Structure formats: structure tokens, C-alpha cells
């Protein structure tokens, strides 16, 4: 099965649980389980190749020039993690079916779970760090949904926010580190990066990249000092906790360290940062776990401790330590998932997870007790269970590790952590299941049905089998995984008995010490509760509160609702960056001479300056400002034509006509004059900033125009391929409908959306009393007696077919001569606009045959269908094709698919312009409304009229 399909199956499966929930809980669980099972079966089809030492690759290039590609690869490390993710995911799906109550939205749960599973599979199979980063952030988002699944619980919402905040911040740091790593290696492909160890470790950017990447890994895997988020995530349903702690989320950080181990490990920085952090986390998590009374909290801090153990082994930087880390990842996944499910069973049946309210459950829940006993002893590192083997490997490696010249520090602290590990494991077993039965259980404890204990029971069988037969059962898997992490590795030997070694004595001491701590727990617990110590949750909430206050202060200071302030900040920042670039750059001397300025350009420039200056001086008169803006647009159009850009000139002048008319209509909704709102000093400040920005733009334009550049302009490519590749001699049009057709497609969609927004806004206005006010508003100057002069009506109706013919001519010539669908659409829209202006909105609206919304939609659909047609020829979306046809008695002519795309542009432009026009104009006319008897909602006008009558 393709790696793409394996990675996609959980995401595809996430669509079905929500749809099938009405078919029953079993159908919902079956759909979720089937997606995971198919992905697992697909993964197992690659097992023979993986165990033979092969690496499976799948690659699809997207933007290879930018290093963007969808690359997947599967080696031993990815195979191990994907196996754990999918297999334990299947068991979690089964367990959740019987754990969740009927009040829980099971469809949502399985959807979130499969999204989480898919993101994790994506992480462990990605061969591109940019793709890995996408999946990395998806795990944070999907885990947020899972941890906060019980939205009615405040602790659930808080735990979800805390997990998202901590892991999200670490993920942002990791993004920077991974990009640096890709820059050093010269590729964003992980398989290429792993072959550049010397280049990476010799680079000056190695340490910054290492720190940033480890920050992401440590936050994800709850390493000190970021360990606090993981226990608070226990507010999630137990199936989530079991999955998150055993095979997903927290294991993502371990995977990242193992994946990049070949290029990052082996340096002093790696050893002291990673090994020290792991050692501290292992000890701290074990100590705190011993004094937690909530079963899930105890297991959560035990997870923190075991994650620290694996991190410490990876930090040692030796091949043997990497093997131990890989082996413990397998063992921890089996016993920890079983223990969390056991804690969920106890909570489900006894209605409490408080150890102080439990005890004696072995008499009432013998099956659950057996599962908990086996998994708990494995967590404690008691032979012959699998946890003992990897714990012995850890102690043996710790015994031979020096830390800054000390031979005792690491083994002593590792033994102390193992001692506390034994103590909290024994406490989990003894204080929950041993002792006499109680009469005050909140519920009525008993063993649940097979569906609830089947999953943890299967995992405990693996705990025993791996412990007794580790070599044949998991030896090959550990071998191929170790080879993937460390390169060619000597044969891995896993066995239960290694003789009398330092690790055996350390382990025996830890077991005896753990039993002693359990005996003294009552007194130690009292001392622990009385001792002052920092509370990570309070520190986190305090930091978040301070950061929030700071952000709010900055936001409130900058965002006061004044657009002039926003514009001033943006322009000043741009000026500062530009000045820095100019003073620190190497701008050469001019290489071109000034051209002579003719009379016509000088007159045009003078008119442009005068018109712009008048706008600044008279901008408070909105009507006059629009007239002046139209003059500016006309001069710009003439400038385009003078500079041999007829397409731009036609577009500019057409846009000017349409926008001026629409803006004149919009003035009906606004006061005639703009009020003075800013004080003189503010206007002086804004004027100074504007002048500085204008001078800067002028200087930049001057510098660009007076110099030649060594690089070749992209216009040469367009000129060379316009006819050969696009079939047209009008390079501008070919660029719009072919070379950059996707941009044009997006632009017509945006144009249609803008028209729809105008329609929606005016709908709201027309539904309010504003329309009555507009209808009853009296003009402040003498109006013409004839609203629709006959001469104008006759002229516009005669011009209508002529204008449409011109639009058709401009449309059909556009591929080879100035014109095209956009300009033709504007001309056709202007032809219709003239009818509205001459004959009135009511007359034109009554003769409208096609809804403008539909015209916009049909234009977008025609453009999209043209683009999709390219797929049938196995070429990218919107790739055009052309050919020449000779039909007698006509001359040979060209047929191009770009014409269909241009037709879509034409329809979208016509529909958008006319919908905006209709929306702004229809306040004065509505079918069924008597405008002669509209209600005047302005009482002040009535008072004024009465006063005038009395005075008369």
C-alpha cells in the first residue's frame, strides 16, 4: 500500500464516525476501527522490506524550487512508531466504545481521535521537514480537541488550553530550528539532512538550530521545565489519556530526537542539554508521582519520568544507549496504555480515582487486578516483565556515564529515580487493590464486560511475552529501529539475565528502597504536603496573565480605531526599514542618462500635481473630491497610453468610469462634507509622514530607472513565449489568461465576493429606517425639473447596441491586440449603467432578465471548467491550448481555450459591476413600495417646516 494512502486513511476515516453516529454507537466505532485497521494492514505490507533493511520512499514534488514537496519515507524508526500508533489506536477505539457514556458525542470523539492518529502517522513518515511541521502542529490542534472533549469541565478546558499553549510555543521554536537545519544541509528532505552530519555539526548555526529543535521536542514530550502541562491534560477522557501517553503526542518529541539523532547527537552540547534534561525530568517526575492520590495523575507523572528516562538515553549519544531508548519506547507503550485503561476501569466502576478512597479491589475486580498487577510490576522494573529489561539497560548505561568528570552523579540519580519508580508503582498496586474491602466506595466496584478489559489484557500479555521472549519477539524490530537511528548497528541481543552486573545491584537497591518508601509513605506524604514548593500551574497561569496584560496594553495602545494611526505606524515602519536598507546597502552610481522631457508629459505631470493638490485641499467636499479623483485617473490613463501600454490605459479608464459612478451612488448614504476630526498637530504629523514617504517612493523610482541590472527580467520570457506557448501576440492578455491564469481566477472570485458584500450591506440598510430617511431627504440645491431628459434617454438607447458591439470587438481581439475579457466586461457594464442613469433604476430593473448573482457565478464556473479541462490532457490546472482552423469561405482563424477562460472573466466582471450598481441604486426604488408616501423619520425636519410656516 502506498505511504500516501497509509497517511491519508485516518483522515479519510475521520469523515465517517460523525456521519454514522445515527446508525448506532457500534457502527460509529466500527467505521473508526476499520480506517485504523486498513492503515495498519497497509503498513504491515511493508514489514518484509523494512526487516530486510530497505527504506520505502514516496514523493510528489509541489514547488521543488522552494523545497516544498510531499515526501514520505518509511524506515525502521518510522515503522516502529507507526506500528505503535495504529495498533494501540485500534485497542483505544475498542476500549472507548465501552468506556464513553451515551451522553458523550461518540462521533465527535472518534473524528478527533482519527485526526490525531493521522497527524501522528504523518509525523513519523514525513521525509520533508516542512510537511513534518504541518503534521506536528496538527497534533497540537487535534489533541486540544481531545483533551477538552468534556467541554463542561473547567479543568478539561484549562488543560486543553495549557497543552496547546506550551506545545504550540515549542512548535514555533522548532519551525525556526528545522528551517535552519534545512538551510545548513541545503535541502528540506529529512533523508538528505541525515546524510550531512559533518556539515551540520561544523556549522556556526548548529547550536541555535539544536536549541530551537530541542525546545520543540522538550515541550512536546513534557520535559522539565515544561512537564507541567501533561498531568493537567488528564482531564481528558481516559481513552485519550491512554493513547496520548503510550503511543502518541508525548512520543512525538522522542521520535524527533531519535530521527535527528544521526546529525545532532555526539556533541558536548547534545549530551549536556539532552541527557541532563532527561535525568532531571526522570527524577522529578518519579518523586512527584509518589505523592499523587489521583490514579491518572500518578500515572501522568510516571509518564513524565519515563519520558525523561528515554530522553536521557538518547542524550548519552552512544549507539547502545539509543538501543535502550528504542527498547523502552516499546515497553513503556505496552504497560502504560494498559495501566491507564485499568485506571479508567476503576474510575468507571468505582466512580472515583482517589487512591485514598480505594483499596481491597482485588476481591471485587480480580480481572482488573491481574491486569494492573502485571502492568504495574513491569512499570516498576520487576523481572520477568519487559519493563525490567529496559530498566536494566538504562542503569547499566548510567553506571558507565561521566557527567563533567563525576563518575557517580548520573548512576546515583538514575538509581534514585528508579527507587521512586518502584515506590509509586507499588503504591498504585497496593493502595488500590490490596488490603481489606471497604464499605464506602462511591460506586459498586466489579469487573466490567469483556469489551472494556480486552484491550488492556492484550497489552499485558505482550508485557509478559516480551519480558520472557524479548529476543525472538521484538529483537528484529529493535534491530531495524536501532539501525535507522544509529546507522549500521551491531546485532542487538535482548535477554532477561545478564549476570551479576552493576545494573543488577542498582536495581535491587531500587526495589528495596522503593518498598521502604512505600512503608513510610504516610509520614512522607504529610511532610510533602507541608513543605513549601513552587506550583507549576500557578507559575504558568501567572506568566500567561502577565503576557496577556502586556499584549492587551500594546494592542489597546496601537489599535484605537483610527485608520490614520494604523497607516502612520505602517508607513513609519516601512520608512525606517527602507532607510536602514539604503544606509547599509551598496547602491551603485547611475548608469543611465536622463531623458528629455517633452511638452506633453510636462503638461500632464503638472495637471496631475495640481489635481492631487486640490484633492488634499478640498477633500472634505466629497463630491468635488470624486471629480478630482476622476481627473487624476484620466491623466494616469493617458500616461499609460503615452508609455505604450494601451491595455493598461483601456483598463484604467474603464475602471475609472465604473468606480466614479459607483462612488457617486455611495455618496447618497453619506454626509455631503467630511467632518474635521483630527487636531492640527495630528494633521501636521500625518502630512510630514506622507511627504517623507512620497519623497522616498520618488527616490526609489529614480534609483530604479537610472540603473541597469545584471539579472534578466521575466518580461523576456513572456515576450519569447507569448505566441509560442500561449498562442497570442498580446503579451498582457496572454499573461492574464495563461501564464498567470490562476491569479486572474482568484481575482474574479474576489471581485464577485466584493459585489456580494456590497449587496449584503445594502440589504441591511434597506431593511432599516435609513431607506425612509433617504427617500424623504430634501436636496440642498435646486434640482433639474426633468429627472430623465428625453435627449439623454434616446442617445443612450441608441448607443446601447453600439457599446455592446464595441465590447464584443474588444473581447475577441484581446488575445492578439489590446483588449480582453476584463476590459470588454467593463465596457459592457458601462453600456448597461448608462441605461440606469438615463431612464432610471425602476425602468432598467423591470427589464432585467438575468440575475446578476447568477452572472457572477456562471463566470466563475466557466473559468473553473476551462481550467479543469486541462486535467484531461494531463497538464496543470488552467493550462491553455490553441490551434488554427480554416473554414471556407472564412480565412484561417485561431481557436484557443483561453477565450473560454476570458469569457468567464467577462461574465464575472459584468455581474460584479452591475450587482454593485443595483445594490447602491435600489434604495430609491423597490417594487411594491409607494415612494410618494414614504415615512419621514427625521422629526427635526418637521419642526423646521413648522417654524418656517409660522414665520411666513
Does 381 map to a domain? yes
d(CA 286, CA 303): 9
d(CA 79, CA 87): 12
Same domain? For 747 and 689 the reply is no
Same domain? For 282 and 238 the reply is no
Give the least confident one: 90-104, 134-148, 756-770, 812-826.
756-770
Partnered with residue 406 across adjacent β-strands are 403
Check residues 68 and 419 and name the one with the higher pLDDT: 419
Same domain? For 316 and 461 the reply is yes
> Helix crossing, 790-813 with 897-921: angle to 10°?
150
Does 676 map to a domain? yes
d(CA 392, CA 397): 9
d(CA 494, CA 475): 7
Same domain? For 690 and 746 the reply is no
d(CA 820, CA 905): 9
The pLDDT confidence band at residue 298, using thresholds 50, 70 and 90, is very high
The pLDDT confidence band at residue 775, using thresholds 50, 70 and 90, is low
CB count within 10 Å of CB 699 equals: 12
- Whether 941 has a pLDDT exceeding 60, the answer reads no
Using the Cα atoms of residue 238, residue 239, residue 240 and residue 244 in order, give the sign of their dihedral.
positive
Q: Where a domain ends, among 706, 741, 766? A: 706
As a whole number, mean pLDDT of residues 321-332 equals: 92
CB count within 10 Å of CB 769 equals: 11
Does 588 map to a domain? no
With beta carbons less than 8 A apart as the criterion, state whether 398 and 325 touch.
no
User: What is the overall mean pLDDT for the chain?
Assistant: 86
Per-residue pLDDT at 732: 85
- In 187-304, the DSSP E strands lie at none
Does 47 map to a domain? yes
- Whether 111 has a pLDDT exceeding 70, the answer reads yes
Grid coordinates standing for 131?
510537511
> Of the ranges 191-195, 554-558, 661-665, 837-841, which is most confident?
191-195
With beta carbons less than 8 A apart as the criterion, state whether 494 and 327 touch.
yes
- Whether 814 has a pLDDT exceeding 90, the answer reads no
In the DSSP assignment, the letter for residue 768 is S
Nearest to 815 by CA among 895, 742, 876: 895
Same domain? For 245 and 276 the reply is no
The CA–CA distances, whole Å, from 550 to 367, 429, 544 equal 54, 47, 10
Grid coordinates standing for 741?
491564469
d(CA 832, CA 848): 10
Same domain? For 256 and 279 the reply is no
The pLDDT confidence band at residue 779, using thresholds 50, 70 and 90, is low
Same domain? For 314 and 439 the reply is yes
Same domain? For 258 and 274 the reply is no
The pLDDT confidence band at residue 923, using thresholds 50, 70 and 90, is low
Q: DSSP 3-state helix, strand, coil percentages of the chain (rounded to 5)?
A: 75, 5, 25
As a whole number, mean pLDDT of residues 317-344 equals: 92
Same domain? For 279 and 177 the reply is no
With beta carbons less than 8 A apart as the criterion, state whether 356 and 437 touch.
no
> For residue 68, which phi and psi values (nearest 5 degrees)?
-95, 115
> Helix crossing, 502-519 with 521-530: angle to 10°?
80
Q: Where a domain ends, among 264, 279, 306? A: 264
- Whether 66 has a pLDDT exceeding 70, the answer reads no
Does 718 map to a domain? no
CB count within 10 Å of CB 882 equals: 17
Partnered with residue 126 across adjacent β-strands are 72
Residue-wise pLDDT tens digits, 576-625: 999 988 888 777 788 888 888 888 888 888 999 999 889 888 888 888 88
Does 393 map to a domain? yes
Same domain? For 273 and 256 the reply is no
> How many domains does the structure of the chain reveal?
4
Q: Where a domain ends, among 244, 264, 284? A: 264
User: Length of the chain, please?
Assistant: 952
Per-residue pLDDT at 928: 45
The pLDDT confidence band at residue 948, using thresholds 50, 70 and 90, is very low
Does 721 map to a domain? no
Per-residue pLDDT at 220: 92
Using the Cα atoms of residue 905, residue 908, residue 912 and residue 913 in order, give the sign of their dihedral.
positive
Does 465 map to a domain? yes
The pLDDT confidence band at residue 944, using thresholds 50, 70 and 90, is very low
Contacts of 375 (CB under 8 A, 6+ apart): 334, 335, 336, 338, 339, 342, 456, 459, 460, 463
- Whether 336 has a pLDDT exceeding 80, the answer reads yes
- Whether 244 has a pLDDT exceeding 70, the answer reads yes
Per-residue pLDDT at 881: 80
d(CA 575, CA 582): 10
Residue-wise pLDDT tens digits, 23-62: 888 899 999 999 999 999 999 999 999 998 899 988 887 7
Per-residue pLDDT at 50: 92
Same domain? For 576 and 669 the reply is yes
Per-residue pLDDT at 939: 39
Residue-wise pLDDT tens digits, 924-936: 554 444 333 333 3
- Whether 887 has a pLDDT exceeding 80, the answer reads no
Per-residue pLDDT at 89: 93
The pLDDT confidence band at residue 136, using thresholds 50, 70 and 90, is very high
Q: Which domain holds residue 814?
A: 732-779+786-952
Same domain? For 675 and 768 the reply is no
The CA–CA distances, whole Å, from 784 to 445, 922, 933 equal 92, 21, 22
Amino acid at each position: 500500500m502506498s505511504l500516501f494512502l497509509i497517511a491519508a486513511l485516518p483522515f479519510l476515516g475521520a469523515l465517517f464516525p460523525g456521519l454514522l453516529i445515527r446508525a448506532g454507537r457500534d457502527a460509529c466505532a466500527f467505521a473508526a476501527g476499520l480506517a485504523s485497521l486498513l492503515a495498519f494492514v497497509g503498513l504491515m505490507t511493508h514489514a518484509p522490506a523494512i526487516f530486510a533493511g530497505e527504506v520505502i520512499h514516496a514523493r510528489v514534488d509541489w514547488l521543488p524550487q522552494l523545497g516544498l514537496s510531499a515526501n514520505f519515507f518509511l524506515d525502521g524508526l518510522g515503522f516502529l512508531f507507526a506500528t505503535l500508533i495504529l495498533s494501540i489506536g485500534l485497542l483505544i477505539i475498542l476500549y472507548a466504545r465501552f468506556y464513553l457514556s451515551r451522553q458523550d458525542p461518540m462521533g465527535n470523539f472518534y473524528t478527533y481521535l482519527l485526526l490525531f492518529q493521522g497527524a501522528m502517522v504523518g509525523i513519523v513518515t514525513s521525509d520533508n521537514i516542512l510537511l513534518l511541521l504541518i503534521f506536528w502542529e496538527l497534533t497540537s490542534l487535534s489533541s486540544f480537541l481531545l483533551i477538552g472533549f468534556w467541554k463542561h469541565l473547567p479543568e478539561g478546558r484549562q488543560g486543553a488550553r495549557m497543552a496547546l499553549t506550551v506545545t504550540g510555543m515549542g512548535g514555533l521554536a522548532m519551525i525556526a530550528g528545522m528551517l535552519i537545519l534545512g538551510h545548513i544541509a541545503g535541502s528540506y528532505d529529512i533523508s538528505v539532512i541525515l546524510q550531512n552530519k559533518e556539515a551540520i555539526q561544523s556549522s556556526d548555526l548548529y547550536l541555535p538550530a539544536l536549541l530551537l529543535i530541542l525546545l520543540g521536542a522538550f515541550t512536546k514530550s513534557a520535559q522539565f521545565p515544561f512537564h507541567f502541562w501533561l498531568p493537567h491534560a488528564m482531564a481528558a477522557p481516559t481513552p485519550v489519556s491512554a493513547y496520548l501517553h503510550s503511543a502518541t503526542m508525548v512520543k512525538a518529541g522522542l521520535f524527533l530526537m531519535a530521527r535527528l539523532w544521526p546529525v545532532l547527537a555526539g556533541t558536548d552540547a547534545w549530551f549536556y542539554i539532552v541527557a541532563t534534561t532527561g535525568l532531571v525530568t526522570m527524577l522529578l517526575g518519579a518523586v512527584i508521582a509518589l505523592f499523587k492520590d489521583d490514579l491518572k495523575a500518578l500515572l501522568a507523572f510516571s509518564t513524565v519520568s519515563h519520558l525523561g528516562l528515554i530522553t536521557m538515553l538518547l542524550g548519552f549519544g552512544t549507539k547502545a544507549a539509543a538501543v535502550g531508548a528504542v527498547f523502552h519506547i516499546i515497553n513503556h507503550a505496552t504497560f502504560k496504555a494498559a495501566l491507564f485503561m485499568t485506571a479508567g476501569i476503576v474510575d468507571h466502576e468505582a466512580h472515583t480515582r482517589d487512591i485514598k478512597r480505594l483499596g481491597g479491589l482485588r476481591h471485587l475486580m480480580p480481572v482488573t487486578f491481574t491486569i494492573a498487577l502485571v502492568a504495574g510490576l513491569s512499570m516498576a522494573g520487576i523481572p520477568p516483565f519487559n519493563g525490567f529489561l529496559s530498566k536494566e539497560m538504562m542503569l547499566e548505561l548510567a553506571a558507565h556515564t561521566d557527567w563533567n568528570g563525576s563518575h557517580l552523579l548520573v548512576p546515583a540519580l538514575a538509581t534514585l529515580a528508579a527507587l521512586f519508580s518502584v515506590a509509586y508503582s507499588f503504591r498504585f498496586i497496593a493502595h488500590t487493590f490490596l488490603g481489606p474491602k471497604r464499605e464506602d466506595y462511591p460506586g459498586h466496584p466489579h469487573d466490567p464486560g469483556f469489551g472494556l478489559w480486552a484491550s488492556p489484557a492484550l497489552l499485558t500479555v505482550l508485557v509478559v511475552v516480551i519480558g520472557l521472549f524479548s529476543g525472538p519477539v521484538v529483537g528484529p524490530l529493535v534491530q531495524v529501529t536501532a539501525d535507522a537511528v544509529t546507522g549500521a548497528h551491531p546485532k542487538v541481543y535482548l535477554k532477561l539475565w545478564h549476570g551479576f552486573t552493576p545494573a543488577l545491584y542498582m536495581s535491587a537497591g531500587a526495589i528495596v528502597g522503593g518498598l521502604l518508601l512505600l512503608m513510610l509513605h504516610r509520614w512522607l506524604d504529610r511532610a510533602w504536603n507541608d513543605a513549601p514548593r513552587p506550583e507549576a500551574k500557578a507559575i504558568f497561569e501567572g506568566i500567561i496573565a502577565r503576557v496577556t496584560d502586556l499584549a492587551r496594553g500594546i494592542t489597546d495602545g496601537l489599535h484605537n480605531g483610527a485608520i490614520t494611526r494604523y497607516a502612520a505606524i505602517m508607513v513609519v515602519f516601512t520608512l525606517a526599514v527602507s532607510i536602514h536598507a539604503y544606509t547599509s546597502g551598496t547602491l551603485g552610481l547611475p548608469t543611465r542618462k536622463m531623458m528629455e522631457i517633452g511638452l506633453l508629459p510636462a503638461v500632464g505631470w503638472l495637471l496631475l500635481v495640481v489635481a492631487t493638490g486640490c484633492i488634499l485641499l478640498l477633500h472634505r467636499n466629497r463630491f468635488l473630491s470624486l471629480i478630482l479623483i476622476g481627473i487624476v485617473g484620466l491623466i494616469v490613463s493617458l500616461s499609460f497610453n503615452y508609455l505604450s501600454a494601451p491595455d493598461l490605459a483601456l483598463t484604467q479608464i474603464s475602471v475609472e468610469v465604473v468606480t466614479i459612478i459607483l462612488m457617486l451612488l455611495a455618496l447618497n448614504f453619506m454626509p455631503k462634507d467630511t467632518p474635521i476630526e483630527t487636531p492640527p498637530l495630528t494633521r501636521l504629523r500625518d502630512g510630514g509622514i506622507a511627504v517623507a514617504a512620497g519623497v522616498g517612493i520618488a527616490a526609489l523610482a529614480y534609483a530604479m530607472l537610472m540603473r541597469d541590472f545584471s539579472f534578466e527580467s521575466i518580461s523576456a520570457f513572456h515576450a519569447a513565449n507569448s505566441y509560442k506557448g500561449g498562442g497570442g501576440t498580446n503579451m498582457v492578455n496572454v499573461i492574464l489568461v495563461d501564464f498567470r491564469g490562476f491569479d486572474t481566477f482568484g481575482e474574479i472570485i474576489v471581485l464577485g465576493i466584493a459585489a456580494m458584500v456590497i449587496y449584503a450591506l445594502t440589504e441591511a440598510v434597506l431593511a432599516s429606517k435609513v431607506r425612509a430617511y433617504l427617500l424623504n431627504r430634501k436636496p440642498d440645491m435646486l434640482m433639474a425639473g426633468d429627472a430623465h431628459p428625453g435627449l439623454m434617454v434616446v442617445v443612450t438607447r441608441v448607443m446601447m447596441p453600439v457599446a455592446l458591439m464595441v465590447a464584443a470587438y474588444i473581447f475577441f481581439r484581446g488575445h492578439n491586440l489590446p483588449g480582453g475579457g476584463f476590459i470588454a466586461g467593463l465596457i459592457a457594464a458601462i453600456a448597461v449603467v448608462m441605461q440606469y442613469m438615463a431612464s432610471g433604476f425602476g425602468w432598467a430593473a423591470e427589464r432585467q432578465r438575468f440575475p446578476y448573482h447568477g452572472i457572477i457565478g456562471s463566470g466563475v464556473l466557466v473559468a473553473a471548467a476551462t481550467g479543469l479541462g486541462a486535467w484531461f490532457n494531463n497538464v496543470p490546472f488552467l493550462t491553455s491550448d490553441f490551434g488554427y482552423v480554416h473554414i471556407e469561405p472564412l480565412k484561417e482563424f485561431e481557436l484557443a481555450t483561453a477565450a473560454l477562460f476570458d469569457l468567464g472573466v467577462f461574465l464575472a466582471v459584468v455581474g460584479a459591476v452591475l450587482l454593485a450598481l443595483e445594490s447602491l441604486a435600489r434604495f430609491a426604488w423597490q417594487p411594491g413600495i409607494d415612494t410618494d408616501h414614504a415615512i419621514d423619520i427625521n422629526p427635526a425636519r418637521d419642526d423646521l417646516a413648522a417654524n418656517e410656516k409660522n414665520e411666513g
